[in-house]
Structure 1
Amino acid sequence: MTKKSDTPAIRFKGFTDTWEQRKVSELFRVTRGYVLAATQTETTKTDEKPYPVYSSQTKDKGLMGYYKDYLYEDAITWTTDGANAGTVNYRAGKFYCTNVCGVLLSNEVKANQMIAEALDSVAKGYVSYVGNPKLMNNVMADIVIQIPTQAEEREQLSSFFAKLDNLITLHQRKYDKLTNVKKSMLEKMFPKNGSNVPEIRFKGFTEAWEQRKFEEIAVRSSVICSDANLPRVEYEDIVSGTGRLNKDIYAKQSSKSGIAFHRGDVLYGKLRPYLQNWLLPTFDGLAVGDFWVLQPQNADSSFLYRLIQSRQFDEVANQSTGTKMPRADWKLVSKTVFSIPSNISEQAAIGTYFTALDNLITLHQRELEKLKNIKKSCLENMFV
């Protein structure tokens, strides 16, 4: 075939040779994995079953479990069938893979992370969507990619992306761990049904929590305003389930009317409540769309904000009216009885704890997004 040469926009110092276009089949031996029942694997690594098994149907880049034997070592795999068809990964070390994995084995060049990234950036464009999505071996074999001619440059790029992926994985795990901690603490720091004390509480607080209807904890504001100087908050501005804004709302140009809210009010998205569009604003503004603007009554606003994230509130709010456009029912929610600390200092302590936890979660989420953007930019500028 005709080979075309080019150079990337960014590359490591000391490399000046042009890159070349090559077919996958010229570089690797193309094969695939074999059928393996999930019952033959262990969920954790053991001496009897030490080798990872990869598939397209599970999380953690397809890790299915561990098996007693391995098929391949230091190779590139891709998902041949299903929703993840065309997803490419480099597998370091010895591993087993199932029959939904195609495999590229080192031949003319050594399989590595760099080539896996190059393929992953283009492979989905070759997936057939006639029936079940597929990227079969013969199609992968004909894909053309550009690679450095020098093995040393390929290895440096591979090492770079491996380290970047490790950083992304580290922050993803920290983010997931903190998110799970928050979920667990929302369960344990609010009393379960039938109890008047939570499983976990701060030292110094011993009084039983009191039972109050939600309408005694918060009232809805219904003041409509169109003040052009106030920022507008809409559903699309909130990162679902995080209470975090995804843009500078002061930069938005809008003349829409909305419900006026003040710092310390709680915004709750009543349309499709399962979307978890909530916000504890630190500014005055207008809530545009299907929001409840909740003003705390003899309650700490940060505690109220955590209460609407609790399982009990979520279950009640999702007993919604409507089918295509379900909305939380205020008549039901307002009359529902919730447990609340009688001591406002305990309410504030709970709110402060979750605020600190949310800040940590946001920190790791932003770092994760930053690293992913760095990787995206590198892929765009370091490959041709």
Structure 2
Amino acid sequence: MGEIVKKLKSYPLSRDVETKERTGYRYIHYGDIHKQIADLIVQDEDLPSIKEGDYIPLNQGDLVLADVSEDYTGIAEPSIILHEPKTKIIAGLHTIAIRPQSATSLYLYYLLHTERFKKFGSHVGTGLKVFGITFNNLSLFQIKTPSFPEQTAIGNFFRTLDDTITLHKRKLDKLKELKNGYLQKLFPQPGEDVPRVRFAGFNEPWEVRSFENILAPAVASNTLSRAELSYEKGSIKNIHYGDILVRFGVYIDIARDPIPCIANGRIIDYKNKLLQEGDVIFADTAEDETVGKAVEITNISNFQVVSGLHTMAYRPKIKMSPYYLGYYLNSHSFRYQLLPLMQGVKVLSLSRKNLSKTLIRYPAVLSEQSQIGDFLRNLDEQIFTLYNKLGKLKQLKSFYLQKMFI
């Protein structure tokens, strides 16, 4: 690499040089590279302003690499200036700035994302808790380049792919933001009797009942650890509290969602502990305030499902529309009541006794419950679809990164 790039001036500028004033100077800090604030830079405003100084600025097409990382995969993580800067852009703290001489900038930028380069970085990187790389070591990386037209075509191909990924990310973020907004508006907030937004045709007052009047303990939970569960063997599906907290949303589609089974479970041992459609499972333990997260059981069909470690299973005492409880019990409208009921220091827990102290609000008309649940579920399905598309695009990019460079 040392033969095809020129090393540029970097400055040990830390965060204390940043300013809100428009000074005409901006910089690329290694931390912003790792956070992808500085990545494919297309406008000056993407970067923080800094105080004026006697600096040598960067040009369009220059690359700035982070020379330190907390792991080997982040060594020499690159950013690239794709536009003609209107201000003076400086390479800041813990960066290596380079200017391609006999390679196109985009081609080199994507080359630095390949698995081959990452492996190289892990070999030449130094350090224990923090790993670093020098320009001298970076320059030892062996590069084979095609013709300039082919380099340009490769760079443009990946840029188009990245633009598509960015577009899907923005759509996903907007949908998540939209959903969060509706979660605030479709359920009564603290001190309110009805939600701020209601579907047309509904004006009846909402019901307010104690938790115990709406939900009753369903079945006993088990204490099986992860080691006793399997995705390969077993027929009894087990809802583990860790999956409630991390993997599942507000409802579980039993027929669709991957759920581990009890590896050596016998149905005769669990026949009195089986969950039913519409049951709600709470996680009673967490390391943070996510304790008390709930999931509603849906599409259970003929599957055998049980409530696992650190969970509390409840069953509605009255008819409730599908999906309503799943969304309501995870909304701020309900969860603000849980905060003073959580116990513990490093690990928080929630007891059945404390959970019973809460109130549940719901529309008396089932069709209004149904509209709320279906509307939010439709948003979640759109989010799920976009999330999967985004994952496939990232996999496609990773595949081509390995196939289009040597």
Q: Same fold (TM over 0.5)?
A: yes
Counterparts of 1:72 and 1:241, CA distance in 2: 46
Counterparts of 1:370 and 1:382, CA distance in 2: 18
Match of 2:109 among 113, 116, 124: 116
Contact 2:69 2:131 in 1 (8 A): yes
- Identity of paired residues, percent? 22
Amino acid at match of 1:309: N
**Counterpart position of 1:254:** 263
* Correspondences of 1:1-384 after superposition (within 5 Å): 24-34=1-11, 35=13, 37-40=17-20, 54-58=28-32, 59-62=35-38, 63-65=46-48, 71-81=58-68, 83=70, 85-95=75-85, 96-100=89-93, 101-112=95-106, 114-121=107-114, 122-123=117-118, 124-125=121-122, 126-130=124-128, 132-142=130-140, 144-223=141-220, 229-235=235-241, 239-240=246-247, 242-243=249-250, 249=258, 254-256=263-265, 259-272=273-286, 274=290, 276=293, 278=295, 280-283=297-300, 284=303, 285-298=305-318, 299-318=320-339, 319-384=341-406
Amino acid at match of 2:79: N
- The Cα offsets for residues 82-137 of structure 1, whole Å up to 9 and x where unpaired, read as 5455322333113424413322212122221x322221333452443346443343
- The Cα offsets for residues 235-286 of structure 1, whole Å up to 9 and x where unpaired, read as 5656546356898647857235775222222333222162757354321422
Counterparts of 2:257 and 2:187, CA distance in 1: 33
Q: Taking structure 2 as the reference length, what is the TM-score of the superposition?
A: 0.75
Contact 1:52 1:64 in 2 (8 A): yes
**Cα distance, 1:81 vs. partner?**
3.8
Q: Structure 1 residues 167, 346: CA separation in 2 closer, same or farther (over 3 Å shift)? A: same
Amino acid at match of 1:313: F
Counterparts of 2:191 and 2:157, CA distance in 1: 55
Q: Structure 1 residues 287, 94: CA separation in 2 closer, same or farther (over 3 Å shift)? A: farther
Contact 1:210 1:339 in 2 (8 A): yes
SS at match of 1:196: coil
Q: Structure 1 residues 338, 232: CA separation in 2 closer, same or farther (over 3 Å shift)? A: closer
**Cα distance, 1:169 vs. partner?**
0.8
Q: Taking structure 1 as the reference length, what is the TM-score of the superposition?
A: 0.79
Unaligned runs of 5+ in 1: 1-23, 43-47
Q: Structure 1 residues 241, 129: CA separation in 2 closer, same or farther (over 3 Å shift)? A: farther
Contact 1:90 1:116 in 2 (8 A): yes
Contact 1:237 1:249 in 2 (8 A): no
SS at match of 2:160: helix
Q: Structure 1 residues 265, 54: CA separation in 2 closer, same or farther (over 3 Å shift)? A: farther
Unaligned runs of 5+ in 2: 39-45, 225-233
Name the count of aligned residue pairs: 352
Contact 2:5 2:101 in 1 (8 A): yes
Counterparts of 1:316 and 1:263, CA distance in 2: 26
Amino acid at match of 1:255: N
Counterparts of 2:314 and 2:169, CA distance in 1: 33
Say what the alpha-carbon RMSD is for the aligned residues.
3.3
SS at match of 1:104: strand
